[in-house]
Amino acid sequence: MFFPGIITETKSNFKDVPEDFWAKEEIEFLSSKGVIKGYHDGTFKPNNGVTRAQFAVFL
C-alpha cells in the first residue's frame, strides 16, 4: 500500500477493477482526489500502459 493509514472505500468505482486487484486502493484513492479518472464507459483499464501525455497530467 502506498498510502499507509489512509482508509479507502472497499467497493470499486470502476467496473473493470476487481476487489482483489493489487492496485485497487491506490486507484480509488487517486480517483477520489481527482488525480486520475476512468473512461466514459465506467472502466479504468488498469492493465493499459500510461502515455506520456497522461503522465504529464499526473505531474
Flag whether 43 is in a domain: yes
Answer yes or no: is 12 within a domain. no
Query: What pLDDT is stored for residue 54 in this prediction?
Result: 84
In a domain? residue 8: no
Q: Is residue 19 situated within a structural domain?
A: no
CA-closest candidate to residue 29, choices 5, 59, 53: 5
In this structure, is residue 17 part of a structural domain? no
Range of the domain at 32: 24-58
Question: Which pTM was predicted?
Answer: 0.69
51: in domain: yes
User: Is 28 part of a structural domain of the chain?
Assistant: yes
Cβ-based burial of 16 (10 A; exposed 0-12, middle 13-18, buried ≥19): middle
Alpha-carbon span 5 to 1, nearest angstrom: 9
Give me the number of domains the chain comprises.
1
24-58 pLDDT, tens digit each = 999 999 999 988 889 999 999 999 998 999 888 87
For the chain, first and last CA: distance in Å?
20
Report yes or no: 39 and 33 within 8 Å, Cβ to Cβ.
Answer: no
